Protein backbone atom coordinates (compact mmCIF):
# COMPACT_ATOMS: atom_id res chain seq x y z
CA UNK A 1 0.00 0.00 0.00
CA UNK A 2 1.30 3.40 -0.99
CA UNK A 3 0.39 5.85 1.76
CA UNK A 4 0.13 9.50 0.78
CA UNK A 5 -0.24 10.92 4.30
CA UNK A 6 1.37 9.80 7.55
CA UNK A 7 -0.15 11.16 10.76
CA UNK A 8 2.27 10.99 13.67
CA UNK A 9 1.62 11.14 17.37
CA UNK A 10 4.26 13.27 19.09
CA UNK A 11 5.19 12.29 22.65
CA UNK A 12 6.64 8.78 22.69
CA UNK A 13 6.58 8.52 18.90
CA UNK A 14 8.70 11.41 17.63
CA UNK A 15 9.78 12.92 20.96
CA UNK A 16 11.61 11.03 23.70
CA UNK A 17 9.68 12.63 26.55
CA UNK A 18 8.90 9.70 28.85
CA UNK A 19 11.50 10.49 31.54
CA UNK A 20 10.41 14.13 31.51
CA UNK A 21 6.79 13.03 31.82
CA UNK A 22 7.52 10.89 34.90
CA UNK A 23 9.55 13.63 36.60
CA UNK A 24 6.94 16.33 35.97
CA UNK A 25 4.08 13.99 36.85
CA UNK A 26 5.55 13.49 40.31
CA UNK A 27 5.88 17.25 40.79
CA UNK A 28 2.26 17.71 39.80
CA UNK A 29 1.23 14.84 42.08
CA UNK A 30 2.80 16.59 45.06
CA UNK A 31 1.12 19.86 44.11
CA UNK A 32 -2.37 18.47 43.49
CA UNK A 33 -2.46 15.62 46.00
CA UNK A 34 -2.60 12.54 43.80
CA UNK A 35 -0.25 9.56 43.82
CA UNK A 36 3.26 9.66 42.43
CA UNK A 37 4.20 7.01 39.89
CA UNK A 38 6.31 4.46 41.75
CA UNK A 39 9.16 2.85 39.86
CA UNK A 40 7.69 -0.61 40.27
CA UNK A 41 4.40 0.61 38.75
CA UNK A 42 5.84 1.95 35.51
CA UNK A 43 5.76 -1.29 33.53
CA UNK A 44 2.18 -1.98 34.62
CA UNK A 45 1.07 1.55 33.74
CA UNK A 46 2.66 1.24 30.30
CA UNK A 47 -0.03 -1.33 29.56
CA UNK A 48 -2.85 1.04 30.57
CA UNK A 49 -4.73 3.64 28.59
CA UNK A 50 -4.95 7.25 29.81
CA UNK A 51 -8.21 6.75 31.69
CA UNK A 52 -6.82 3.73 33.57
CA UNK A 53 -3.67 5.65 34.50
CA UNK A 54 -5.69 8.55 35.89
CA UNK A 55 -7.75 6.12 37.97
CA UNK A 56 -4.61 4.37 39.25
CA UNK A 57 -3.01 7.57 40.53
CA UNK A 58 -6.25 9.05 41.80
CA UNK A 59 -6.73 12.07 39.54
CA UNK A 60 -10.44 12.95 39.39
CA UNK A 61 -11.71 13.47 35.86
CA UNK A 62 -12.67 17.08 36.52
CA UNK A 63 -9.04 17.88 37.36
CA UNK A 64 -7.51 16.27 34.26
CA UNK A 65 -7.74 19.35 31.96
CA UNK A 66 -5.99 21.56 34.52
CA UNK A 67 -3.24 19.01 35.12
CA UNK A 68 -2.73 18.53 31.37
CA UNK A 69 -2.52 22.30 30.85
CA UNK A 70 0.02 22.61 33.65
CA UNK A 71 2.09 19.77 32.21
CA UNK A 72 2.29 21.49 28.80
CA UNK A 73 3.23 24.77 30.45
CA UNK A 74 6.05 23.10 32.39
CA UNK A 75 7.31 21.43 29.23
CA UNK A 76 7.38 24.81 27.50
CA UNK A 77 9.55 26.19 30.31
CA UNK A 78 11.89 23.18 30.28
CA UNK A 79 11.73 22.29 26.60
CA UNK A 80 15.49 21.71 26.38
CA UNK A 81 14.98 18.52 28.43
CA UNK A 82 12.97 16.93 25.62
CA UNK A 83 14.60 15.72 22.40
CA UNK A 84 13.60 13.79 19.32
CA UNK A 85 14.34 10.09 19.19
CA UNK A 86 17.53 9.32 17.30
CA UNK A 87 16.88 9.13 13.57
CA UNK A 88 13.59 11.05 13.55
CA UNK A 89 14.96 13.96 11.52
CA UNK A 90 16.39 11.64 8.85
CA UNK A 91 13.14 9.67 8.78
CA UNK A 92 10.96 12.75 8.29
CA UNK A 93 13.19 14.15 5.56
CA UNK A 94 13.27 10.75 3.82
CA UNK A 95 9.48 10.52 3.73
CA UNK A 96 8.95 14.05 2.42
CA UNK A 97 11.69 13.68 -0.20
CA UNK A 98 9.79 10.68 -1.59
CA UNK A 99 6.47 12.46 -1.84
CA UNK A 100 4.75 11.60 1.43
CA UNK A 101 2.80 14.29 3.27
CA UNK A 102 3.18 14.52 7.04
CA UNK A 103 0.91 15.60 9.88
CA UNK A 104 1.11 15.62 13.68
CA UNK A 105 -1.86 14.82 15.93
CA UNK A 106 -1.16 15.28 19.63
CA UNK A 107 -2.50 16.39 23.00
CA UNK A 108 0.60 18.55 23.37
CA UNK A 109 0.72 22.18 22.27
CA UNK A 110 1.80 23.22 18.78
CA UNK A 111 4.46 25.52 20.24
CA UNK A 112 6.01 22.65 22.23
CA UNK A 113 5.92 20.35 19.21
CA UNK A 114 7.62 22.88 16.93
CA UNK A 115 10.22 23.74 19.57
CA UNK A 116 11.28 20.11 19.91
CA UNK A 117 11.17 19.43 16.17
CA UNK A 118 13.26 22.50 15.35
CA UNK A 119 12.66 24.76 12.32
CA UNK A 120 13.89 22.35 9.65
CA UNK A 121 11.74 19.43 10.79
CA UNK A 122 8.74 21.57 11.73
CA UNK A 123 8.63 22.91 8.17
CA UNK A 124 8.13 19.36 6.88
CA UNK A 125 4.84 18.96 8.72
CA UNK A 126 1.96 20.07 6.52
CA UNK A 127 -0.77 19.84 9.15
CA UNK A 128 -0.81 20.20 12.92
CA UNK A 129 -3.77 19.14 15.07
CA UNK A 130 -2.69 19.86 18.63
CA UNK A 131 -4.45 19.98 21.97
CA UNK A 132 -6.38 16.73 21.43
CA UNK A 133 -8.40 15.48 24.40
CA UNK A 134 -6.44 13.23 26.74
CA UNK A 135 -9.02 10.45 26.46
CA UNK A 136 -9.58 10.50 22.73
CA UNK A 137 -8.30 11.86 19.44
CA UNK A 138 -11.09 10.90 17.07
CA UNK A 139 -12.63 14.35 16.52
CA UNK A 140 -9.23 15.94 15.85
CA UNK A 141 -8.30 13.07 13.54
CA UNK A 142 -11.55 13.42 11.60
CA UNK A 143 -10.92 17.13 11.13
CA UNK A 144 -7.33 16.54 10.02
CA UNK A 145 -8.36 13.87 7.51
CA UNK A 146 -11.14 16.04 6.10
CA UNK A 147 -8.77 18.98 5.65
CA UNK A 148 -6.16 16.80 3.93
CA UNK A 149 -8.43 15.81 1.05
CA UNK A 150 -6.77 12.38 0.97
CA UNK A 151 -8.77 9.14 0.89
CA UNK A 152 -8.72 7.22 4.16
CA UNK A 153 -7.16 4.11 2.63
CA UNK A 154 -4.16 6.27 1.65
CA UNK A 155 -3.54 7.45 5.21
CA UNK A 156 -1.53 5.79 7.99
CA UNK A 157 -1.60 6.87 11.63
CA UNK A 158 1.59 6.12 13.57
CA UNK A 159 1.65 6.21 17.35
CA UNK A 160 2.57 4.67 20.68
CA UNK A 161 -0.74 4.76 22.56
CA UNK A 162 -3.91 2.69 22.46
CA UNK A 163 -5.98 5.84 21.92
CA UNK A 164 -4.04 6.43 18.68
CA UNK A 165 -5.08 2.97 17.50
CA UNK A 166 -8.67 3.45 18.66
CA UNK A 167 -9.05 6.80 16.89
CA UNK A 168 -7.61 5.39 13.67
CA UNK A 169 -9.86 2.35 13.78
CA UNK A 170 -12.95 4.46 14.46
CA UNK A 171 -12.18 6.58 11.39
CA UNK A 172 -11.37 3.64 9.12
CA UNK A 173 -7.67 4.47 8.90
CA UNK A 174 -4.71 2.08 9.12
CA UNK A 175 -2.58 2.19 12.27
CA UNK A 176 1.14 1.59 12.70
CA UNK A 177 2.36 0.88 16.24
CA UNK A 178 5.83 1.91 17.40
CA UNK A 179 7.74 -0.24 19.88
CA UNK A 180 9.74 2.52 21.59
CA UNK A 181 7.04 4.71 23.13
CA UNK A 182 5.00 5.08 26.31
CA UNK A 183 2.76 2.03 25.84
CA UNK A 184 4.03 -1.55 25.93
CA UNK A 185 4.06 -3.23 22.54
CA UNK A 186 1.85 -6.12 23.69
CA UNK A 187 -0.89 -3.63 24.63
CA UNK A 188 -0.61 -2.02 21.20
CA UNK A 189 -0.60 -5.37 19.40
CA UNK A 190 -3.87 -6.20 21.15
CA UNK A 191 -5.37 -3.40 19.02
CA UNK A 192 -4.40 -5.29 15.82
CA UNK A 193 -2.25 -2.65 14.12
CA UNK A 194 -1.70 -3.00 10.38
CA UNK A 195 2.03 -2.38 10.88
CA UNK A 196 4.49 -2.61 13.78
CA UNK A 197 7.69 -0.58 13.64
CA UNK A 198 10.69 -1.80 15.63
CA UNK A 199 12.80 1.34 15.15
CA UNK A 200 12.53 4.85 13.74
CA UNK A 201 14.44 3.83 10.62
CA UNK A 202 12.03 0.92 10.15
CA UNK A 203 9.26 3.35 9.15
CA UNK A 204 10.52 4.29 5.66
CA UNK A 205 11.90 0.76 5.24
CA UNK A 206 8.52 -0.93 5.80
CA UNK A 207 6.86 1.61 3.53
CA UNK A 208 9.21 0.66 0.69
CA UNK A 209 11.30 3.81 0.78
CA UNK A 210 14.99 4.46 1.13
CA UNK A 211 16.53 6.53 3.91
CA UNK A 212 18.36 9.80 3.41
CA UNK A 213 20.19 12.07 5.81
CA UNK A 214 18.59 15.26 6.99
CA UNK A 215 20.45 18.48 6.08
CA UNK A 216 21.62 18.81 9.71
CA UNK A 217 23.35 15.43 9.55
CA UNK A 218 25.29 16.09 6.34
Provide the residue-wise pLDDT of the chain in tens; the chain has 218 residues: 589 999 999 999 999 999 998 888 888 888 888 888 888 888 888 888 888 888 888 888 888 888 888 989 999 999 999 999 999 999 999 999 999 999 999 999 999 999 999 999 999 999 999 986 666 788 999 999 999 999 999 999 999 999 999 999 999 999 999 999 999 999 999 999 999 999 999 999 999 887 777 766 55
Domain residue spans of the chain: 5-16+85-217, 18-81
Cα–Cα distance for residue pair 199/178, rounded to 1 Å:
7
Q: What is the CATH number of domain 5-16+85-217?
A: 3.40.50.1000
**What is the distance of C-alpha 123 from the center of its chain?**
18
* Type and span of the H or E element at 53: helix 50-57
pLDDT at position 48 is 86
Among 148, 153, 130, smallest CA distance to 140 is for 130
pLDDT at position 58 is 86
Q: Compute the Cα dihedral for 103, 139, 186, 21 and give only its sign.
A: positive
pLDDT at position 52 is 86
Q: Where are the alpha helices (DSSP H) in 110-184?
A: 110-122, 138-148, 162-170
Cα–Cα distance for residue pair 116/118, rounded to 1 Å:
6
Partnered with residue 178 across adjacent β-strands are 197
Partnered with residue 133 across adjacent β-strands are 136
Cα–Cα distance for residue pair 19/21, rounded to 1 Å:
5
Q: What radius of gyration, in Å, describes the C-alpha atoms of the chain?
A: 17
pLDDT at position 67 is 86
pTM confidence score? 0.93
Phi-psi sector, 131: left (phi>0), alpha (psi -120 to 50), beta = left
Partnered with residue 176 across adjacent β-strands are 158, 195
Cα–Cα distance for residue pair 3/25, rounded to 1 Å:
36
Instruction: Determine how many CB atoms are found less than 10 A away from the CB of residue 152.
Output: 13
Amino acid sequence: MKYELLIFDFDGTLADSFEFFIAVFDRLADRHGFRRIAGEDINVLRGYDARQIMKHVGIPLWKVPDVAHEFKALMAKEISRVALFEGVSDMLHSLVAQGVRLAVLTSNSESNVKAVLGPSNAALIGQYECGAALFGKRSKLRRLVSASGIARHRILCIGDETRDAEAARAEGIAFGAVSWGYTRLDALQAKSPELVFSSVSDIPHQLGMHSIQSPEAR
